[in-house]
Structure formats: C-alpha cells, structure tokens
Structure 1
Amino acid sequence: MVLQKNPLAFLLLFVIAILAAGCGAVSTPASSETSTPAAAAPSNDAYADTRTIKHDLGETVIHGTPQKIVVLELGFIDALLDVGIKPIGVADDNKSSLILEDALTQIKGYTSVGMRSQPSLEQIKLLSPDLIIADTSRHSSVYDQLSKIAPTIALNNLEAGYEETIQTALTIGEAVNNKAEMQHVVAKHKAKLQAVQAKVTKDKQSIVLVGNTDTEITVRNTGFFTAELLKTVGYRYALDDVPSFAGQKEKGNIKMTVEQFLEINPDILVLMSGEVDKKDAKGNRPILEDPLWNELSAVKNNQLFDVNRYTWSLRRSIKGANQIIEQLEADIVK
C-alpha cells in the first residue's frame, strides 16, 4: 500500500536491487580469475617437460623428471647413478652381491624385484614407480604388463655391444630429464678412451676374453660389450682372426675345447673370474695345469691376466667401461 501511494520510493528500491545484482555479477569472475591459475599451476608444471622417448619396443611419453625408478638389468644402475639418481628397485637375481660394491653403497636401501630373467610384477607394482627401465631381450614378453604399472622404456643391456651401451646411456639421460649431464658423462668417457688408445701398441696385439673353464672353455664373442670396447681401444679381437669363429654373430659365449682354443692362440688372454669358478687350494683354476693350455702364447709370454668377471662382463655401462680402461692402463697396456 505504501509503494502504491509513493511511486518514487518503488523506483528507488528497484534501482538499488539492480545495482546489488550488478555488484554480485562482477565479484564472481574476479573470484574465478583468482582461483583458476592456482588450480592450473600444478598441471602446467607437471607437463612442462613432457618428452616422447623412442626405445627398442616403441615410444613412451614421460612427464617431468622421474624420481621413483625401477631397473631390470644391472647396467642400468650405473646409468642412473651417472646423473645422480638412485633406483628404488633393482632386478638383482635376489643376490645383492651381483652389484659391485661402489654402486651397492650408493643404492643402499633399494628393493630387490627378483630375477632379471623374470622380475616380480607384484613387487614392482608395490613400489609405485614413475619409470621402469626394462631390457629388450629379457622383458619384451612382459613389456605390456610393465607399461600398465608405469611408463616403461626397453633398452638393450644383456646383449648390448659397446656403442649400443653408450646410446642406451644417452637415452636414459633423456628419459630422466638429465640429457645434458649424461652427454657430459659420455664426453669424459671418450676422453679417457682416447688416452688409452694412444698407449696401445701399434702392432695391434690380439686379445680374447674367457669366462668359465670348468668343463669347456667359454669365450666371449666378438659382438660382446667388452670385446667391442677392446677393439675400440685398438686391440684385435682374436676370434676375428680365425675364419671358423669370425662368422659367428651371437653376442654371448662360444664354447670350445682346449684344442680349439689353441687355434685362436691370442697374444693376450683375459681370464674373467667369479665366485662360480672351480679353484684349487691355491686359488688357481685346474685348467692352468693342462699341458695344452700351457702351450698358449699368452701363457708362455706371461700375458695371462685374471680380472673380476662382474666388472668385465656384468657391468655393461659407461662406468664399467671406465673401470676396464683403468685396469688396461694399470696392468695390460704396454
């Protein structure tokens, strides 16, 4: 009744209502502008360093810098340590002794995820990794299952040659967002390599790597990581000199008798020893007493060198190559 008698008062109330509604409309966008960047920032940060990593079994998208990494072959441990990252899980065949002491000390507290040939998917999943590094030859059959747990890249380590191992390290550096640092590690290694190359005798002595000698002699093939490294240093790999062995392409071991090994007859013989080798009370292998073995030129000329099998065989990494080069300089290079 009052409003009907006073149209001016009605109009004033109407204007006030419009202004109040207008103020509310302005405040909502302001509030939205304030909150949106704060909500979006974590997402932008998380995806700022998105990379697509090409590897042996395809391509994998990785966001940011992985921190919780599981490795399924021993050589990958060194690649991570080279750029300051410690793996949280390692396939170590349930034997930490497979890992050389200097690396083992640095990754103290890691979790074993079982056998390299058949890692425990359940244990890997419990670790909630943000990156898995698998071996191409060992883990191709479980790659899809691994990829469901975390982004997974597959690279060759078990059967890798020297140059492939270098490329693997560079790929890992890119995957963990440390590409430049890994390139620096490779450059330092190449400088160490060039230094020993200058010291190797110009007549290119032949050299060969021998593992087990308990029943048959197992010789590392010419495509093996350490064999390729020795050839890069400047040696001839003795198997390449014998037609019956030079054509064999497998990258593992060639088994032969002492008579067959005499056909190779290297100038330098590197005997890789580990805990599995049979030895007598004096710590010598029984084969050292074999008359045919003692007909070898390397044995006659005191060019038989006993080395750690884990360093010279299992440690397929830049750090492993550096240790081999250092021992070459200290004990073998003339």
Structure 2
Amino acid sequence: MVRQRVATMVLLALLIFVLAACGKTSEVNEAMPEQQDTPVEESGTQTIEHLKGTAVVPQKIERMVVLSAAYIDHMLTIGEKPAGVNVEVRYGGDYLPYLADQLADVPTVGSADSPNLEAILQINPDVIVVESRTADSTYEQLEKIAPTIVLGNEWLDYEDDTTYWTQDLLTIAGLFNKVDLAKEKIVEVEQQAEQLKAKIEQLDQKKLAYLRVREKTLQIYAEKGHPTNTLLYHDLGFVPTAVTPVEQREDLSIEKIADIDANFVVLEVDPNAEDYLNNINASSLWKRVPAVGEDQVYTTDSFWLFKGWGAIGRSEIINEVEDMIQ
C-alpha cells in the first residue's frame, strides 16, 4: 500500500509538471509575433521609388529595357547589357557610335519619344527604365508591359551641384546590387579629370567656347546646365569666354562671333548644318576668333551631349580634350 501511494503521488507530480509546462508553452506562443509565409510571387523582389511612384521588380533582373542613351552608358559601366535599347535619328545608326561595340545584337525598340511597344513586348522585360520626358506620353502603356521606372533628373535644377550626372547611375547600379562598382567607376573618371585639369592649369591661355552649328544658327553652350558643360568648365578647369552664358545655351548672331575670345573652340556640327558652317568659315569675323587663328578648333558632333551623362562617355570626352590641347 505504501508503494502504491508513493507511485500515485509520483504520477500526480509528473502530471502537474507536464500541465504547467504546457501552460508556459502556450504563453510563449501567444507572446511571439505571428509569422506569415511570404507568397511565392512576392519573394525575391525589390521596391524602387521613382518619379512616378514605386515599382516592384525582381531582385535579380535578367532583362532590362532602357530608353535613354545615358542609361545604356550606366548599364555598360557596371557590366550589365541591356535587353533592348532606344534609337535616335541623331545617332546615325542603331546605337550610339561610342557604345556600338558593346551593344552588338541588342534589339532596338524605337525612339525614346516613340517606343515600339510590340518590340518591347517581344523582349518580355523584367523592368523598363525611361526618362521623365518619355514617361509623359508613354508611361501608362509601358507599365502594362512591365514595371516601369521613371528617372530623368536631367530636367531638374541642380544649381551648383556638379555631380548630379551620377545619381541615375547609382540608382541603376542599385537595381543590380552594384553600387560599390558604380562608385569605383565614378572615382576613376573623377581622377582622370583631375589629372587633365592639372595639365590645363599649366596653360597660359585656357578660355574655351563650346559651340553648336545648327541648320540656320550658331549656339553657344553655357557654363552650367548640362553635365558636359560642367565637365569642361568645372571638372577640367577651362575658363568661359566673354559671351559664354551661365545657365542656358544661347543663339549667337554672326555679328557676335567676333566677341568669342576663346583660345579653344569645340565646334559641334548638326548633320544638316554644313551650309551654315560654310558661311561661318567664310566670315572674316570668325577668323578673328583667337582659337581659329591658332588652329585650336576641335570639330565634334552631338555625341558629346550624350557622353556627358555617363562614366564611359565622360572618360572619352576627357581623352578627346587631352588630344585637343596637345
């Protein structure tokens, strides 16, 4: 009887212990926040803030269509190849010449202003990246094809910020988890510019005019307002001429040509501007420009306007300028 009583008491004690443990387990479970399974379709995504709101895109992007020369440069800078790119009549071909070798066989999808929606649809992109001006007319249509990210800070007012060209590069690099690589490339271009600036500082005369010959007019680019301008006058240290505007490019009449007191002229010529260029070259006023008399006129094309936005393009401009001042 004694053994039975002891056994019963032991069993009762064990039962009480088990019940107490269960109670504590229940309390712990109630205190824990409820964990929810992530739906399969939402796993492996990233959310990007952009000018039109937010876009949810894959964490690993396989096919990105870009409708901007700058964004093509940005992707190639970080070692990513676009799945589709825009074309523009000014290119003179499907691709910008300075990027053409790296874009072999990449499908073209119309212009930035009038993208070929069917061509984009055939690519089945993970994401589309466009400039703000493109988004004004096509964003809703593109968004139906794939998540569409709207960048385009080129139309914003950055006042004295000369690094704004890097912002979209860093955004695109972030989509591929390559921000550190993008920063390395930016530093490389900045160091390249600093080395050339040191050479330019040694010049006795370093006034530069950046001109554009159009079909019926001559324009002069400003000291600011575009990354190519700030590259020349800020990063490289050229001095603006007496007629160089500060913020926005301006038209120059033939009579004003004599006021261009430039030691170097970068002359950008539109494809349809040969006749007007001939008129300028024949002008006695043009011959009075110091750079003309010193044979320091460097003829280029509109690609400098595209190149100024990207690390690859800026590096090429720096190389061209170095050749120009030799």
Mark yes or no: TM-score above 0.5: yes
Say whether the 8 Å CA contact 1:206–1:236 is kept in structure 2. Answer: yes
Choose from 103, 108, 114 the match for 2:99.
103
Alpha carbons of structure 1 residues 70 and 254: separation in structure 2 relative to 1, 3 Å:
same
Indicate the residue corresponding to 1:143 in structure 2: 139
Opposite residue 173 of structure 1, the aligned amino acid is: A
1:327 aligns with 2:320: yes
2: CA distance, partners of 1:195 / 1:104:
28
Indicate the residue corresponding to 1:267 in structure 2: 263
1: CA distance, partners of 2:175 / 2:229:
28
Alpha carbons of structure 1 residues 265 and 159: separation in structure 2 relative to 1, 3 Å:
farther
Say whether the 8 Å CA contact 2:263–2:290 is kept in structure 1. Answer: yes
Say whether the 8 Å CA contact 2:214–2:272 is kept in structure 1. Answer: no
Alpha carbons of structure 1 residues 267 and 102: separation in structure 2 relative to 1, 3 Å:
closer
1: CA distance, partners of 2:117 / 2:220:
34
Unaligned runs of at least 5 residues, structure 1: 1-39
2: CA distance, partners of 1:305 / 1:115:
29
2: CA distance, partners of 1:157 / 1:323:
22
Matches within 5 A, 1:279-318: 285-310=278-303, 312-315=304-307, 316-318=309-311
Unaligned runs of at least 5 residues, structure 2: 1-36
Opposite residue 238 of structure 2, the aligned amino acid is: Y
Matches within 5 A, 1:1-334: 43=40, 47-48=43-44, 50-93=45-88, 97=93, 99-156=95-152, 163-201=163-201, 205-222=206-223, 223-231=225-233, 232-238=235-241, 241-242=242-243, 245-246=245-246, 249-250=247-248, 253-273=249-269, 275-278=271-274, 285-310=278-303, 312-315=304-307, 316-332=309-325
Q: How far 1:269 moved relative to its partner?
A: 0.9
Q: How far 1:96 moved relative to its partner?
A: 6.3
Q: How far 1:213 moved relative to its partner?
A: 4.6
Alpha carbons of structure 1 residues 287 and 195: separation in structure 2 relative to 1, 3 Å:
same
Q: How far 1:80 moved relative to its partner?
A: 0.8
Alpha carbons of structure 1 residues 279 and 216: separation in structure 2 relative to 1, 3 Å:
closer
Alpha carbons of structure 1 residues 144 and 164: separation in structure 2 relative to 1, 3 Å:
farther
Q: 3-state SS of the aligned residue for 1:164? A: coil
Q: How far 1:97 moved relative to its partner?
A: 1.8
2: CA distance, partners of 1:113 / 1:307:
27
Say whether the 8 Å CA contact 2:65–2:84 is kept in structure 1. Answer: yes
122-131 or 271-280, larger mean C-alpha shift: 271-280
Alpha carbons of structure 1 residues 271 and 98: separation in structure 2 relative to 1, 3 Å:
farther
- What is the alpha-carbon root mean square deviation over aligned residues? 3.0
Aligned length: 281
Alpha carbons of structure 1 residues 57 and 285: separation in structure 2 relative to 1, 3 Å:
farther
219-228 or 53-62, larger mean C-alpha shift: 53-62
Alpha carbons of structure 1 residues 168 and 261: separation in structure 2 relative to 1, 3 Å:
farther
With structure 2 as the length reference, what TM-score do the two structures score? 0.75
Alpha carbons of structure 1 residues 80 and 254: separation in structure 2 relative to 1, 3 Å:
same
**1:136-175 C-alpha deviation (Å, 9 max, x unpaired):** 2232332233223212222227658862221111111012
Q: 3-state SS of the aligned residue for 2:61? A: coil
